[in-house]
Amino acid sequence: MREITLSQAVNEAIAEEMRRDPTVFLMGEDVAEAGTPFKVLSGLVEEFGTDRVLDTPISEPGFVGMAVGAAMTGARPIVDLMFGDFIYLVMDQLCNQAAKQHYMSGGKLTVPMVLRTNMGATRRSAAQHSQSLQALVAHIPGVKVAMPSSAYEAKGLMKTAIRDNNPVVIFEDKLMYQDKAPVPEEEYLIPFGEANVKREGSDITFIATSSMVQVAEKAAETLAAEGISAEVIDPRTIVPLDEATLLASVKKTSRAIVIDEGHQSYGVTAEIASRLNEKAFYHLDAPVLRMGAMDVPVPFSPALEDITVPTPEGVAANARKLCAGEMIYAA
Amino acid sequence: MTKTNTEDYLRMYTQMVRIRTFEDNANQLYLSAKMPGLTHMYSGEEAVAVGICEALTDDDRITSTHRGHGHCVAKGAEFKEMFCELLGKAEGYCRGKGGSMHIADQSHGNLGANAIVGGSMGIATGSALRAKLQGSDDVTVCFFGDGATAQGLMYEVMNMAALWNLPVIYACENNGYSEYTKTEEIAAGSITARAEAFGIEAHQVDGQDVLAVNELTQKLVARARKGEGPFFIELMTYRYHGHHVGDINREYYRSKDEEKDWKENRDPIVRFRGYLVEQGIATEDEIEAINAAVEKDATDAVAYAEAAAYPDVSEVDMHVFAA
Ligand SMILES: Cc1ncc(C[n+]2csc(CCOP(=O)(O)OP(=O)(O)O)c2C)c(N)n1
Ligand SMILES: [Mg+2]
């Protein structure tokens, strides 16, 4: 199968959906000629013109609010938010306006919009351009949240997001834009709420999102050489969450580590771990472990930044302890 | 020409050269892959930061932007601590935690660069509110780009600043571009009229003319200290480099001819140097001596920063909360 980059996959997904549905349009800062700073959207304005690929001023709350209004009245906007960190600026439009319209109107209004943005540290971009804020959005009922872990997921999830009748936020890892993966030429969609078992195993389950899937896979590789068999699962969407697949795996392996690049406290890892505790407690041989980013603003210095995020070595070390029956947090 | 003027003028010249030299070295660090991440160069806009900051004292505050090295130098920062910060070293102004986009220098009243466009407008206006509430006569200057005028926050705080006569000066550095887009494509109507709508006195000034910028700012600062603020200045200027150091192929949004014109015909340093010599304030030799001294200062600071230590990993969770 051909291999394309995550960036190309997103571009293809959007182009295909724009060809298929004339109500889909794109807006954001420097999305047209510049094709975004990461060049993800290059070429779209040439094909679809400036009526469907709109360069906006630096007015995030304004254009996200406009996307909400356009979505409520018959369009399917895709909004590009240049950095995930800017989600704080648009929280009211996204969480008070977009998220609640359908419910507040008793099911009469819908907001079929996609907000695509990014996440991920270790790019030396410091505290306001490195955050992974998926938990913030996932906390709000009414917004779906997708986290592609490769080009394949990026394309299939984006297409589903565009066709979904709800506000969907897609977090792409900005360090993965140039990573290649096999992506079929034929059309495909990845349904929301279907986790992907990336690697089968019997001793421990790693539930990992986005870039952390690679981290988990590397840890699993290392552990395999030592005789520890780790299963790796990518939930692909955290809202909705495919609880059934996660529970079935944990019931089988009896141990789990949940890994996500957001801050560990009150985060995605906490939510998933607590669901496993609630629903698989009697199958567990060890406490479910959370591994998120350190609870600090992302520091600029490489010497500090690198230690704030989960690593394959860290995951493997914790997995060894759990499998050996050692306590990670002594009583 | 009085003696004090001579000193002021030479300091303004020196400060502009310091900014240009700092940026040339920073760009070199990036090109040689010694600097982590990206950075936004201030080269070309020196007269703006220097003309304004030379009208301020250390007690006056500024807020800066993602393109903040110029503001930082102009407000009095040292090269050594700045380069250490850019390289993520422990002796940097922010102990390596902030980097280029968050550099702050409390000792000279620089409240910090900001990686959120328009993100410092509340901070600057709040600083001015504090000055008023506490009966202090310091003034705060809020630097921001033309692109930042699209942020709603600007209109909220200008309204309050005008209602309460706060000692804040909004300094809009109009360099003609917001990232890869021309200003006229992202800003409708006049920029100064935005401030005027709130009854804020607004001026437009040639941002390549350090004396014009300085004279205007001195007047406005003096009036702001007396409670006549806020004020708004639109400074017409130009950035020589790309939006950031990695923005090399930019002809699709900005022509080489245009860049050449600004560099060759309106350079703030060349212009002011010519003026100083012409007016007999400095000789060519004296100017060259200033340039050489600045160059040496920068070379030494870069060497120092390259050899300096990274912060110890134990610092990673320090400073999340204040004691
Ligand atoms: C809220 C926010 N939106 C977008 C960005 C990305 N961004 C960084 S600089 C920039 C352009 C700013 O233009 P301007 O204010 O004119 O300043 P200049 O770079 O020209 O100095 C943009 C869009 C950001 N950092 N913050
Ligand atoms: Mg600008």
Confidence of residue B2 (pLDDT cuts 50, 70, 90): low
**Does residue B218 belong to any structural domain of this protein?**
yes
CA nearest neighbour of A44 among A61, A24, A73: A24
Atom in ligand 1 nearest the alpha carbon of residue B118: 1
Q: Tell me if B121 is assigned to some domain.
A: yes
Partners of B311 on chain A (C-beta within 8 Å) are 301, 303-304
A102 given a catalytic annotation:
no
B46 pLDDT above the threshold of 90: yes
Task: Give the contacts of B272 (CB within 8 A, at least 6 positions apart).
Answer: B12, B13, B16, B47, B210, B211
DSSP state of A89: G
**Residue from B34, B95, B316 to probe the interface with A (highest A Cβ count within 10 Å):** B316
CATH code for A196-323? Answer: 3.40.50.920
* C-alpha span between B302 and B295 (Å, rounded): 11
Predicted confidence (pLDDT) per residue in A20-67, tens digit: 999 999 999 999 999 999 999 999 999 999 999 999 999 999 999 999
- Tokens 């922010």 belong to B94
Q: Would you state the pLDDT for residue A329?
A: 83
Average pLDDT over residues B146-167: 98
- Is the pLDDT score of B267 beyond 60? yes
pLDDT for residue B182: 96
* Mean pLDDT within B109-128: 98
The answer to whether the CB of A142 falls within 8 A of the CB of A99 is yes
Structural domain contains residue B317 = no
Nearest CA, atom 5, ligand 1: B117
Average pLDDT of chain B is 97
Mean predicted lDDT score pLDDT of chain A:
97
Q: What is the mean pLDDT of residues B167-186?
A: 97
Work out how many domains chain B is built from and give that number. 1
SS (H, E, C) chain B: CCHHHHHHHHHHHHHHHHHHHHHHHHHHHHHCCCCCCCCCCCCCCHHHHHHHHCCCCCCCEEECCCCCHHHHHHCCCCHHHHHHHHCCCCCCCCCCCCCHHHCCEHHHCECCCCCCCCCCHHHHHHHHHHHHHCCCCCCEEEEEEHHHHHCHHHHHHHHHHHHCCCCEEEEEEECCEECCEEHHHHCCCCHHHHHHCCCCEEEEEECCCHHHHHHHHHHHHHHHHCCCCCEEEEEECCCCCCCCCCCCCCCCCCCHHHHHHHHHHCCHHHHHHHHHHHCCCCCHHHHHHHHHHHHHHHHHHHHHHHHCCCCCHHHHHCCCCCC
Question: At A327, is the pLDDT very low, low, confident or very high (cuts 50, 70, 90)?
Answer: confident
Let me know if residue B323 belongs to a domain: no
Predicted confidence band at A328 (pLDDT cuts at 50, 70, 90)? confident
Q: Give which of B143, B149, B154, B177 is closest to B49, Cα–Cα.
A: B143
Instruction: Note the pLDDT tens digit of each residue in A105-147.
Output: 999 999 999 999 999 999 999 999 999 999 999 999 999 999 9
Measured CA to CA, the distance from residue A95 to residue B266 in angstroms comes to 48
DSSP for A125-189, written as a single string = --TTS----HHHHHTSTT-EEE---SHHHHHHHHHHHHH-SS-EEEEEETTSTT-EEE--SS---
**Distance (Å, whole) CA B121 – CA B169:** 11
Q: Which among B151, B252, B317 has CB closest to A59?
A: B151
Q: Is pLDDT of A74 > 80?
A: yes
Lateral strand order in the sheet of B231-236? B61-63, B140-145, B168-174, B231-236, B201-206
State the average pLDDT over residues B176-196: 97
Q: What is the CATH number of domain A3-182?
A: 3.40.50.970
pTM, full prediction: 0.96
Contact yes or no for B36 and A37 at CB 8 A = no
CA dihedral for B205, B207, B208, B213, sign (positive or negative): positive
Report the residue from A33, A57, A128 with minimal CB separation from B252: A33
Q: Where are the domains of chain A?
A: 3-182, 196-323
Residue A71 and residue A111 in contact, taking contact as beta carbons nearer than 8 Å? yes
Q: What range does the domain containing B139 cover? A: 3-311
Cis peptide before A240 (omega within 30 of 0): yes
- A209-229 per-position pLDDT tens digit: 999 999 999 999 999 999 999
Pairing of β A53-55 and β A24-28: parallel
Alpha carbons A232 and B99: distance in angstroms, whole number: 36
pLDDT at A331: 64
| Ligand 1 binding site (Cβ under 6 Å of any ligand atom) | A 29, 58, 60, 82, 86, 89; B 66-67, 115-117, 145-148, 173, 175, 177-179, 243
* pLDDT tens digits for range A87-104: 999 999 999 999 999 999
- Residue owning tokens 């009748």: A165
Contact B88 A56 (CB under 8 A): no
Strand A230-234, strand A196-199: pairing = antiparallel
Closest ligand 1 atom to residue B148 Cα is 15
Per-residue pLDDT averaged across A162-179, rounded?
98
CATH of the domain at B52: 3.40.50.970
pLDDT at res. A177: 98
**Contact (CB<8Å) A128/B115:** yes
Find chain A residues with C-beta within 8 A of B40's C-beta.
Answer: none
What pLDDT band is residue B3 in, cutting at 50, 70 and 90? low
- The answer to whether residue B320 sits within a structural domain is no
Q: Is B323 exposed, middle or buried (0-12, 13-18, 19+ CB in 10 A)?
A: exposed
In this complex, the residue of A55, A62, A124 whose CB is nearest that of residue B185 is A55
CA of A128 to the centre of ligand 1 (A): 13
pLDDT tens string B59-85: 999 999 999 999 999 999 999 999 999
Residue A14 clears pLDDT 60, i.e. is over it: yes
Task: Give ∠ CA A38-A40-A45 in degrees, rounded to 5.
Answer: 120
How far, CA to CA in Å, does A103 sit from each of A96, A193, B163? 11, 20, 40
